[in-house]
């Protein structure tokens, strides 16, 4: 799903992220860990071709698209529809003047999802009904009440907003979910819900998950492989069990010791 | 699932909060509605036809027959004030609509795009702002044929840059919000992001500014008419009526006083409403 080779993101002379190798396959969960400013989020944005004003070199292949060579149009087709981004502060990611259902319907329309489903006959009903069905199914898949589609963003909780972001990815049929600190803005019980939803979707739908987090406890419960980043460079990578159990780099040990 | 239910309570509370609670704002709104009704219903409310000349009845003081008295040519001042409101308010609405349409469009594009697009738009805006507003309006009104339409164009030409500036700064801050990034990450094309996210979320301060400005526009229109560059005889317009009545002030005070009061009351009402809106829509007051 994701293949990165020799990725380097520079702002002027400053290298903010340098990733020699990063692969995420379908059904797999890879976590990038590191402290703030270590280049984790920049790496995610680079995968979507959204690093404005930066100089990006290397090879990035996402869902068969060469991100650095592809025209903007082609990139817009994969953004959201095939690769979804779940952001750190879920409510800030929702426009306050738009109902959630409207937002989801527009996103589906933008990527022509309604018509596609109609043609394939995967969903019952006609036109609007089909879109509606897709929306309700997606929302229910993340354990939300379909009534939430009538709500405005300020009327829902952070956990609901985060699950809605995931529902949006499902509705659009995304194959890869990029999650940028998806739980750090949530309290502990809500974190568990969101993580549960992510884990289930990965198992049921074979979604690939690329998780950026500084929360090693979260990472240890969900990730297959881990990349540790410090000051824009990958200092250690490998299977989650190995890296977290026997860290070879002093920085990784430091991070682990910081755990409560 | 409990999550869903828990959130239900604060929902209703918050929905009712943004309503206008400010008493002054409410008073302003009521006044505006009254003024609007009075001008809209002018044909039914006015005791005399608007252009009825009656030289015999010239300059009668307020009485039972003519509550606001009559002017130099015997027209009923109350009738002219009611009809004059139509002209003045039309000017205000037209000027604000034009200014907001032009200013907000340019401003939002500038604010979202940034870079050279923003610089270009803002420099053009600055050029317009560099002229004293009333002088620019005057110059335009002189060059074009003086009329109500001219007054509208002339005032709008000096008014839109303020909206461009305001909405550019608001849009610039909106453009850094998470939902704009989120839209980009969803593959939404830039024009759609501006239209659906930046624009609607930038409108609140603009709406407040519009209601604050309405009074100012009416006063400016009155000033233009007063200088003979706006509405022309026999159109009834408040500013024009003040102009015609001012020489008579010492002898026939009512000719200038009533249209003057109408301007004052309307401008005041819009200002109060604007202040109230600003308070009511202030996020610091809305949130909790």
User: If we measure between CA atoms, which residue out of B95, B119, B121 comes closest to residue B106?
Assistant: B121
- Label residue A127 by pLDDT band (50, 70, 90): low
**How far apart (Å, rounded) are the C-alpha atoms in residues B35 and B85?**
8
Instruction: Label the pairing between strands A225-230 and A29-33.
Output: parallel
Nearest residue, CB atoms, B187 vs list A110, A143, A159? A110
> Over the stretch B134-157, which tens digit does the pLDDT of each residue have?
888 888 888 888 888 888 999 999
Question: CB pairs below 8 Å between A and B: how many?
Answer: 85
- Label residue B124 by pLDDT band (50, 70, 90): very high
Higher pLDDT, A173 or B9: A173
Helix axes B77-113, B23-40, angle to 10 degrees: 120
| Average pLDDT rounded to a whole number, residues B94-117 | 94
Buried b (16+ CB within 10 A) or exposed e, B236-253: bbbbbbbbbbeeeeeebe
Alpha-carbon distance values, B38 to A209, B194, B221, B227, B257 (Å):
65, 39, 20, 26, 18
pLDDT at B3 exceeding the cut of 60: no
pLDDT number for residue B161: 94
Mutate to test the interface with B, among A79, A97, A145, A186 (most CBs of B within 10 A): A97
Chain B residue numbers with beta carbons less than 8 Å from the beta carbon of A156 are 7
CB distance A93–B179 less than 8 Å? Answer: yes
Size of chain A in residues: 260
**Cβ pair B132, B72 in contact under 8 A:** no
What does the DSSP assignment read for A21-64?
EEEE-TT-EEEEE--TTSSHHHHHHHHTT--TT-EEEEEEEETT
Q: Which of B 141-200 lie inside 8 A of A, CB atoms?
A: 177-179, 181-189, 192, 196-197, 200
CB distance A155–B7 less than 8 Å? Answer: yes
**Cβ pair B137, B158 in contact under 8 A:** yes
The pair of three-digit structure tokens given for residue A46, joined into one six-digit string: 């680079």
| Average pLDDT rounded to a whole number, residues A127-148 | 88
Q: How many CB atoms lie within 10 A of CB A68?
A: 15
Model's pTM, two decimal places?
0.77
Task: Give the minimum alpha-carbon distance from B212 to chain A in angstroms, rounded to a whole number.
Answer: 23
- What's the total number of domains in chain A? 1
Q: Which domain holds residue A56?
A: 2-257
Q: Is B130 an 8 Å CB contact of chain A?
A: no
Q: Which are the contacts of B93, defined by CB distance < 8 A and separation ≥ 6?
A: none
pLDDT number for residue B10: 45
- Label residue B287 by pLDDT band (50, 70, 90): very low
CA distance from start to end of chain B: 25
> Over the stretch B16-39, which tens digit does the pLDDT of each residue have?
444 545 677 788 889 899 999 999
> Over the stretch A58-76, which tens digit does the pLDDT of each residue have?
999 998 889 888 898 888 8
Phi first, then psi: what are they for B252, rounded to 5°? -130, 75
pLDDT at A128 exceeding the cut of 90: no
> Over the stretch A160-207, which tens digit does the pLDDT of each residue have?
999 999 999 999 988 999 998 888 878 888 888 888 888 888 888 889
Q: E strands of chain A, at which residues? A: 2-11, 14-24, 29-33, 55-62, 65-66, 83-86, 176-180, 208-213, 225-230, 233-239
For residue A16, the domain's CATH number is 3.40.50.300
**Cβ pair A153, A100 in contact under 8 A:** yes
What does the DSSP assignment read for B35-77?
HHHHHHTHHHH-SS-TT---GGGTTPPS-SS-TT-B-TTS-BH
- Strands across the sheet containing A55-62: A65-66, A55-62, A2-11, A14-24, A233-239, A225-230, A29-33, A208-213, A176-180, A83-86
**Cβ pair B181, A93 in contact under 8 A:** yes
**Cβ pair A80, A107 in contact under 8 A:** yes
Compute CA B63 distance to the chain's CA centroid, rounded to the nearest angstrom: 34
**How far apart (Å, rounded) are the C-alpha atoms in residues B104 and B250?**
45
pLDDT at A15 exceeding the cut of 60: yes
**How far apart (Å, rounded) are the C-alpha atoms in residues B152 and B217?**
9
Nearest residue, CB atoms, B185 vs list A79, A89, A147? A79
Q: Which of A97-106, A114-123, A174-183 has the lowest mean pLDDT?
A: A114-123
Nearest residue, CB atoms, B201 vs list A96, A106, A111? A96
- Label residue A97 by pLDDT band (50, 70, 90): confident
User: If we measure between CA atoms, which residue out of A252, A195, A211, A248 comes closest to residue A32?
Assistant: A211
**How far apart (Å, rounded) are the C-alpha atoms in residues A31 and A213?**
7
pLDDT number for residue B63: 86
Helix or strand or coil: residue B114? coil
Average confidence score pLDDT of chain B: 84
- Label residue A120 by pLDDT band (50, 70, 90): low
Q: E strands of A34-149, at which residues? A: 55-62, 65-66, 83-86
pLDDT number for residue A126: 63
> Over the stretch A80-96, which tens digit does the pLDDT of each residue have?
888 998 888 878 888 88
**Cβ pair A240, A224 in contact under 8 A:** yes
Nearest residue, CB atoms, B200 vs list A84, A97, A147? A97
Nearest residue, CB atoms, A94 vs list B4, B10, B179? B179
| Average pLDDT rounded to a whole number, residues B255-259 | 91
- Label residue B240 by pLDDT band (50, 70, 90): confident
Q: Is A112 an 8 Å CB contact of chain B?
A: no
Task: Give the minimum alpha-carbon distance from A94 to chain B in angstroms, rounded to a whole number.
Answer: 5
CB distance A50–B185 less than 8 Å? Answer: yes
- Label residue A219 by pLDDT band (50, 70, 90): confident
Q: Is A193 an 8 Å CB contact of chain B?
A: yes
Q: Which are the contacts of A108, defined by CB distance < 8 A and separation ≥ 6?
A: A114, A131, A134, A135, A171, A172
What does the DSSP assignment read for B242-267?
HHHHHTTTTT-THHHHHHHHHHHHHH
Give this complex's ipTM: 0.81
Alpha-carbon distance values, B184 to A54, A164, B109 (Å):
16, 17, 16
pLDDT number for residue B12: 46
Q: How many CB atoms lie within 10 A of CB B23?
A: 10
Phi first, then psi: what are they for B42, rounded to 5°? -50, -45
> Over the stretch B53-105, which tens digit does the pLDDT of each residue have?
888 888 888 888 888 888 888 899 999 999 999 999 999 999 999 999 999 99
């Amino acid at each position: 799903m994701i293949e990165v080779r020799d990725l380097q993101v520079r702002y002027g002379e400053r290298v903010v992220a340098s990733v020699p190798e990063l692969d995420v396959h379908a059904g797999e969960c890879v976590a990038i860990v590191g402290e703030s400013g270590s280049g984790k989020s920049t790496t995610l944005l680079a995968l979507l071709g959204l690093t404005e004003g930066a100089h990006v070199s290397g090879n990035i292949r996402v869902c068969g698209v060469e991100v650095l060579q592809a025209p903007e149009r082609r990139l817009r087709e994969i953004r959201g529809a095939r690769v979804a981004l779940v952001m750190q502060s879920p409510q800030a990611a929702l426009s306050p003047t738009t109902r959630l259902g409207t937002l989801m319907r527009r996103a589906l329309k933008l990527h022509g999802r309604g018509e596609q489903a109609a043609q394939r006959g995967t969903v019952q009903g006609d036109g609007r009904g089909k879109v509606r069905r897709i929306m309700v199914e997606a929302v229910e898949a993340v354990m939300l009440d379909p009534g939430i589609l009538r709500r405005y963003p300020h009327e829902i909780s952070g956990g609901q907003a985060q699950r809605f972001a995931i529902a949006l990815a499902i509705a659009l049929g995304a194959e890869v979910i990029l999650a940028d600190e998806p739980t750090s803005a949530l309290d502990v019980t809500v974190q568990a819900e969101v993580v549960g939803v992510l884990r289930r979707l990965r198992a049921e739908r074979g979604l690939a998950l690329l998780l950026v987090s500084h929360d090693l406890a979260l990472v240890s419960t969900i990730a297959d492989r881990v990349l540790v980043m410090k000051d824009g460079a990958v200092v250690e990578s490998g299977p989650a069990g190995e890296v977290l159990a026997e860290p070879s780099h002093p920085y990784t040990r430091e991070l682990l010791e910081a755990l409560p | 699932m409990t999550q869903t239910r828990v959130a239900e309570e604060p929902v209703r509370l918050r929905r009712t909060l943004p309503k206008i609670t400010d008493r002054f704002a409410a008073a302003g709104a009521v006044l505006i509605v009254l003024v609007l009704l009075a001008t809209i219903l002018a044909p039914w409310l006015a005791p005399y036809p608007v252009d009825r000349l009656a030289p015999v009845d010239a300059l009668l003081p307020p009485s039972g027959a003519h509550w606001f008295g009559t002017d130099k040519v015997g027209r009923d001042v109350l009738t002219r004030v009611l009809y004059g409101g139509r002209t003045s308010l039309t000017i205000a609405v037209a000027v604000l609509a034009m200014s907001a349409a032009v200013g907000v469009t340019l401003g939002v594009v500038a604010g979202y795009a940034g870079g050279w697009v923003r610089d270009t738009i803002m420099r053009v805006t600055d050029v317009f702002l560099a002229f004293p507003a009333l002088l620019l309006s005057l110059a335009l009104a002189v060059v074009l044929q003086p009329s109500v339409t001219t007054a509208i164009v002339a005032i709008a030409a000096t008014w839109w840059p303020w909206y461009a500036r305001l909405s550019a700064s608001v849009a610039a801050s909106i453009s850094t919000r998470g939902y704009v990034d989120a839209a980009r990450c969803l593959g939404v094309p830039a024009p759609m992001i501006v239209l659906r996210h930046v624009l609607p979320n930038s409108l609140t301060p603009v709406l407040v500014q519009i209601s604050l400005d309405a009074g100012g526009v009416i006063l400016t229109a009155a000033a233009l008419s007063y200088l003979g560059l706006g509405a022309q005889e026999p159109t009834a317009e408040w500013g024009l009526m003040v102009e015609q009545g001012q020489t008579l002030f010492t002898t026939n005070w009512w000719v200038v006083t009533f249209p003057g009061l109408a301007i004052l009351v309307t401008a005041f009402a819009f200002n109060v409403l604007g202040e109230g809106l600003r308070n009511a829509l202030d996020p610091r007051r809305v949130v909790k």
